């Protein structure tokens, strides 16, 4: 998948991505979400990128096929100079592609992604394949389409987070999954033996000591009864310059071996029948989920 780290070794992660280099932090306030959709029986990836800068907030929507060939792309520039409400009409392989957005009353938190009061819709031949936001009725009215369940599946998210020794983010680990509070704690200042701690909903799920020897690695945890592989690379925090970032990836595991291996680490009682059934359902779909976090130290 383009722009997402894909080459992971057995004991670590090597991330070669221009967005993770030690460039200006001000340019890194963005969130990228990837959805797998179908139109006319054909699968495609829709990438939605939210950005925030001194110029304002922007939005980019790109549609690729599964071979990473760009089918079309719409770049909505920072809203200081463009409308917060509009549409774009395109044509892809003789199919009509319509993209609609209304962010005129959108409410934001500290990040670039809106929380509520908005919609973003992508339609192929007036069939809605992706609908984001809480203003669904307004979106269907604009598209002139009957309300239907979107076939989009949320498969990946990339986000930049900031902190000194604590980094927090709200995240889900599967399509339409439960929202969790994820906290990464790592104090690397004046410590001979730094320690990395990851908590989900205030519960410690991972603790890595002797971090200078284990600055890259991976470990399996359980979230909502499903095994999630956690990869980390904190080399820049320990040995790089002050503006470097660490990279964390949470990836849903879809192999039975990972499921039972993780069961031996945690309390077996957490693997209830319903959790196991949910895991089998995701196996049948053949889909995982990846959450990638770029953690930047505030000066």
pLDDT at position 124 is 87
Bridge pairing between strands 203-208 and 245-252 = unpaired
Give the closest residue to 198 by CA, choosing from 172, 164, 166, 238.
Answer: 166
Digitized pLDDT (tens) for each residue of the chain, 299 residues in all: 334 333 333 333 333 343 444 444 544 689 999 999 887 777 889 999 999 888 888 999 999 887 778 888 899 887 776 778 899 988 877 778 999 999 999 998 888 999 999 999 999 888 899 999 999 999 988 888 777 777 788 989 999 999 888 999 998 888 778 899 999 999 877 677 889 999 999 999 999 998 989 999 999 998 888 889 999 999 998 887 666 789 999 998 655 444 444 443 333 333 333 333 443 444 334 457 889 999 998 76
C-alpha neighbours within 13 Å on the C-beta side of residue 279: 22
pLDDT at position 138 is 92
Helices (H), 190-255: 235-239
Bridge partners, 166 (sequence order): 185
pLDDT at position 247 is 94
pLDDT at position 119 is 95
Bridge pairing between strands 290-297 and 153-163 = parallel
pLDDT at position 94 is 76
pLDDT at position 276 is 38
Q: What angle do CA 121, 124, 128 make, to 5 degrees?
A: 40
Radius of gyration (C-alpha) of the chain in whole angstroms: 20
Distances (CA, A) of 81 to 51, 114, 214: 14, 18, 47
Bridge partners, 211 (sequence order): none
pLDDT at position 254 is 56
Separation of alpha carbons 104 and 17, rounded Å: 33
CB–CB of 38/151 below 8 Å? Answer: yes
pLDDT at position 289 is 86
């Amino acid at each position: 998948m383009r722009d997402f780290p894909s080459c992971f070794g057995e004991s670590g992660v090597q991330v070669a991505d221009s967005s993770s280099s030690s460039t200006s932090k001000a340019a890194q306030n963005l969130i990228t979400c990837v959805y797998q959709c179908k139109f006319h029986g054909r699968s495609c990836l829709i990438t939605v990128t939210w950005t925030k800068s001194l110029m304002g907030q922007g939005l980019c929507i790109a549609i690729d096929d599964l071979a990473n060939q760009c089918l079309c792309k719409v770049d909505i520039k920072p809203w200081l100079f463009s409308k917060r409400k509009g549409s774009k009409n395109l044509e892809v392989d003789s199919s009509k592609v319509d993209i609609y957005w209304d962010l005129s009353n959108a409410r934001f938190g500290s990040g670039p992604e809106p929380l509520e009061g908005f919609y973003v819709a992508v339609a192929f031949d007036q069939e809605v394949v992706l609908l984001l936001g809480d203003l669904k009725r307004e979106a269907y009215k604009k598209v002139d389409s009957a309300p239907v369940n979107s076939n989009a599946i949320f498969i990946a998210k990339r986000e930049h987070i900031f902190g000194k020794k604590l980094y927090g983010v709200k995240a889900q680990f599967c399509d339409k999954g439960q929202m969790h509070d994820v906290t990464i704690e790592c104090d690397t200042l004046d410590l001979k033996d730094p320690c990395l701690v990851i908590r989900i909903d205030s519960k410690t799920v991972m603790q890595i000591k002797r971090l200078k020897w284990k600055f890259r690695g991976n470990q399996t945890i359980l979230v909502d009864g499903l095994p999630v592989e956690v990869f980390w690379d904190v080399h820049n925090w320990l040995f790089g310059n002050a503006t470097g970032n660490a990279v964390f990836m949470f990836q849903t595991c879809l192999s039975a071996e990972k499921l039972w291996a993780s069961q031996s680490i945690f309390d077996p009682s957490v693997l209830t029948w319903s959790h196991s059934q949910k895991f089998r359902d995701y196996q049948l779909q053949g889909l995982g989920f990846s959450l990638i976090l770029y953690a930047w130290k505030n000066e």
